[in-house]
Amino acid sequence: MLLLLLACADADLKLDDEPAEGDTATLTVDGPAALDPLLGTATFALARSGGDTVTVAIHDASGAPVRTLVDSGAWVDSVTWDGRNDAGALVSIGTYSVFASLEETGTVVAEAATTAAVVRIGVTSGTLGGDDRIALVWHADGRRGNYWEAADDSATFSLAAIDQDGVAATIPAPWDDLYAPPDDLTTQNLPAAYPWDARPTLSLVVGGDATALEPGALTAAIDGWTLTAGEATPGSTLTFTKDTALATGPRVVEETLTLRWRVGEDDVGTQAVPLRIYALLGPPAFEEEGAPYLPWVAVIDPALRAVDGVEPTQAAVISGLVEHIYRDLGLSYDTQWGASAYTQYDGRAFDNAHIDLSGFLDRTRGSIVNCTDCAAILEAFANMVGAALEYTIITPSFGLNYIQAIGADTYTQCPFGSGGCGFSYHAVTTPDGGATIYDATLALDGDTDPGASPSTELLVQAITGEEYLDRLVSSGDPSYRFTQKETLQ
Amino acid sequence: MILLFAGIALAGGVHAGIPVRGVPGLGEPTFLTPASGWTTEVSGGWVRVFVGATEAEGAEWYARQLESIGRPPSPYTLAGADEAHGDGASLVMFRDGNVGVVVRGDTNAAALATTLKGAIVAAGPRVVATMDVGPDLGEPYGRWKVSAPGAAAIRAANGAGVDGGEAAFKVAPTAVYVWDAYGRVTVLTP
């Protein structure tokens, strides 16, 4: 934006000590076309030939000086303006001139100027969108009656104003209470959820004042996202679309985007947009609908972290969850009774399993569980991250080969001690009516003789229903029955 | 507080239930489904209580509980109970008419089971619960409103409640469960 270049020989300058002919001093000043003083500063480059000292000052549109950056000081290659006047106050929105003069032994020998528009720009709210967005639930909202649902089109964050106490308002870090939503929903930054291969959109409402710029001069950009709708004008909405899939598989995507406000090739300022997005295998896979059957943040956050890096397949995800539940949650099998602490069957026989998932997450009734609990927990976790799973019951009673129950450190055929060498039933999970089995309650003996010690740990991750029974059962003739989806609260 | 209960329950028959709050040793109740009853934590474990509308409902619940224990317990003798199982130490379960109880504790389940047996109330006033459907007033009013003075808890299946924690819904629940102070449940459907 080089606007003015005056040689010392210019007659209008009325120099007292004109340099000798052929010894012309020159001066240029160049810098960004716009400045948002709450988002950044503007640096103006100076170049010269001749002279020894320099003066740089900012003038408003009427020509009145508002800020002296250098006053006949030693030469500098650049000056930076923070958008404030000599009193330290922010200047008002408008167009300003940056005047530079080159002096030699106290006499001005060259002058140059450029202009810079002072603007104030920022986002006031943002919404992660797109057809694939999945609603989330915080399950422990005491004020609102347990479940609070962030709908699939609800705002991700919002700010009361783009400024707060004289500084640019910061978009809050993503809300990190996994159980309860914030009391003030208007100023928080809530996570969102999508299938892992979705390409989310991010709509940003623009606020501020950019009247000092020509319409259309201000643009916005986010690396890795493409502006697909809207203009960077206060009052309008910008919509960016992610260039690639959200993730390479199920995981928690935590990323801080850099929103760059630009005029031409110049950055006016940047804003950090922190996001937490849950990349699920797919939409929740429960049979029931309603808030309890949406992904609970308290479930999917740790579950997705546990399966981070696995292939985006149902088998890989459920297998990862089996290991997570079996090893990481501090659960132990009820070796006295095999009684469930969190799950009951509401129907005849083993129909209509219902888990108190809220109670389980709080461990309100301890960490001693049974197969019904483990199957229900695995089923809930899997369906919430998008991997369809049902429970199924192995019945009637049967004798056991060597197993290592959850929380145990040894293999045994008698998890209940002497005389307790079988199960009256056993609950496991399956995605396909018993053809494939997942079980977080126990590890099988994976060697060639599961009825003899020593044993080789085999987690029950996508084992065929036939092999599972072969390895688990030493006597009896049980089969898979009562296969169905659970309910939960 | 047990001394203040409305009546003394005899074995068998249909009782009002067991007070969901105030029995010594019990924590804050968690209300499950009408078919599951309510539950709470106790020292070293948990308690499960069901109050059926009929003695047959109580017997069916008890049978389901017995069936779903991985290591079937032996019969146990608890005075006044229609049936009981367990070892007296870590597990005692019993049924008295329409009321079923499972105590899964650490060392003295029998004592708590006896306390709960003694806490059974023969009769008590029922909560009058209604659900009204009004015009769609949106947030924060909702359209479906539950009135249940004296209820111990109100739980909904599905639906969407309004902000504010009142028993009001902007999306109709498939059912609303109103629990009274004795663990009985009334099911409302829009």
* Interface membership of B137 toward A (CB under 8 Å): no
For the ranges A234-243, A451-460, B16-25, B145-154, the lowest mean pLDDT is seen at B145-154
Which residues from B are below 8 Å from A142, CB to CB? Answer: 165
Question: A459-481 in b/e burial notation, b at 16+ Cβ within 10 A?
Answer: bbbbbebeebbebbbeeeebebe
pLDDT score recorded for residue B165? 57
Q: List the single best residue of B33, B47, B62, B68 to mutate versus A (max A Cβ within 10 A).
A: B68
Q: Flag whether residue B59 sits within 8 Å of chain A, measured between CB atoms.
A: no
**pLDDT by residue (tens digit) across B150-160?**
999 988 877 77
Please give, rounded to a whole number of angstroms, the shortest distance from the CA of B50 to a CA of chain A: 11
pTM for the structure as a whole: 0.90
Q: Could you tell me the pLDDT band of residue B170, with boundaries at 50, 70 and 90?
A: confident
CB-based contact (8 Å) between B53 and chain A?
Answer: no
- Chosen for mutation from A365, A373, A421 (greatest number of chain B CBs closer than 10 Å) is A365
- Band (pLDDT 50/70/90 cuts) for residue B4 is very low
Nearest Cβ partner for A145 among B44, B70, B161: B161
Closest-CA distance of chain A to residue B64, Å = 6
Phi-psi region of A316 (alpha: psi -120 to 50; beta: other; left: phi over 0): alpha
- Look at residue A15 in the predicted model and tell me its pLDDT: 36
Answer whether residue A4 shows pLDDT above 70: no
Task: Report pLDDT digits (tens) over B31-75.
Answer: 999 999 999 999 889 999 999 999 999 999 999 999 999 999 999
Chain A residue at shortest CA distance from B43:
A365
- In B, which residues are within 8 Å of A144 by CB distance? 161-165
Distances (CA, A) of A368 to A333, A335, A336, A355, A360: 6, 9, 10, 15, 11
Cα A27 from chain centroid? 49
The whole-chain average pLDDT of chain A stands at 93
CB spacing of B91 vs A143 below 8 angstroms = no
Residue with tokens 């479940």: A147
pLDDT value at residue A20 = 47
* A107-112 mean pLDDT: 96
Cβ within 8 Å of residue A348, ≥6 positions away: B60, B64
B69 contacts in chain A (CB < 8 Å): 337-339, 370, 424
pLDDT in tens, A245-303: 999 999 999 999 999 999 999 999 999 999 999 999 999 999 988 888 999 999 999 99
Least confident of A23-27, A254-258, B61-65, B137-141: B137-141
Range A207-220 average pLDDT:
94
SS3 readout for A198-218: CCCEEEEEEEEECCCCCCCCE
Residue B6 has pLDDT above 70, yes or no: no
Nearest partner of B48 among A488, A374, A424, A342, judged by Cα: A342
Which band of pLDDT confidence, cut at 50, 70 and 90, is reported for residue B139?
low
Residue of chain B whose alpha carbon sits nearest to that of A417: B71
- A154 to chain B, any CB pair closer than 8 A? The answer is no
On chain B, the residues whose CB falls within 8 A of the CB of A347 are 35
Per-residue 3-state assignment (H helix, E strand, C coil) for A414-459:
CCCCCCCCEECCEEEEECCCCCEEEEEEEEEECCCCCCCCCCCEEE
**pLDDT mean over A444-472:** 97
Compare CB distances from A371 to B67, B70, B161 and report the shortest one's residue: B70
Chain B contacts of A352, Cβ < 8 Å? Answer: 35
Torsion, Cα of A69, A75, A79, A83 (10° steps): 10
The predicted pLDDT at position A187 comes to 79
Q: What is the pLDDT of residue B138?
A: 64
pLDDT at B113 over 50: yes
Show the CA angle centred on residue B180, arms to residues B177 and B184, nearest 5°: 75
**Predicted local confidence at residue A86, as pLDDT:** 98
Q: Is the pLDDT of residue A363 over 90?
A: yes
- Residue bearing the bigger pLDDT, A294 or A186: A294
Q: What is the number of alpha carbons within 13 Å of residue B142 lying toward its C-beta?
A: 22
Q: State whether residue A391 sits within 8 Å of chain B by CB.
A: no
**B40 vs A145, more confident:** B40
Whether chain B has a CB inside 8 Å of the CB on A370: the answer is: yes
Beta pairing partners, A276: A254
- ipTM of the complex in this document: 0.90
Q: Is the pLDDT of residue B161 over 90?
A: no
Q: Which residues pair with A412 in a beta bridge?
A: A403
B41:A365 CB<8 A: yes
Which segments of A292-445 are extended strands (E)? 332-333, 343-345, 353-355, 368-369, 390-395, 398-400, 403-405, 422-423, 426-430, 436-445
Q: Does A366 touch chain B (CB under 8 A)?
A: yes
Neighbours of A180 (CB within 10 A): 18
pLDDT score of A82 more than 90: yes
Mean pLDDT of A13-21: 40
Q: Inform me whether the C-beta atom of residue A164 falls under 8 Å from chain B C-beta atoms.
A: no
Residues A59-68 pLDDT 10s = 999 999 999 9
pLDDT of B124 reads 86
pLDDT of residue A231: 93
Going by their DSSP bridges, the two strands A65-74 and A136-141 should be labelled as unpaired
Residue B30 in contact with partner chain A when CB distance is under 8 A: yes
For B71, the closest of A290, A350, A416 (CB atoms) is: A416
- Closest-approach residue (CA) in chain B for A342: B39
Residues 6 or more apart whose Cβ sits within 8 Å of residue A267: A32, A40, A260, A261
Q: A16-28 burial by CB neighbour count: b if 16+ within 10 A, else e? A: eeebeeeeebbbb
Task: Round to whole Å and give the CA distance between A356 and B33.
Answer: 10
Residues shown for chain B: 190
Q: Given pLDDT bands bounded at 50, 70 and 90, which one contains residue A5? A: very low
Residue B180, min C-alpha distance to chain A (Å): 18
**First-to-last CA distance in chain A?**
64
Kindly report, residue by residue over A152-178, the tens digit of the pLDDT.
999 999 998 899 888 999 999 999 999
Strand A201-209 and strand A237-242: the pairing is antiparallel
Chain-chain contact of B159 with A290 (C-beta, under 8 angstroms): yes
- The pLDDT of residue B8 is above 90: no
Instruction: Tell me: pLDDT of A10 over 60.
Output: no
Rounded to a whole number of angstroms, the distance from the CA of A289 to the nearest CA of chain B is 7
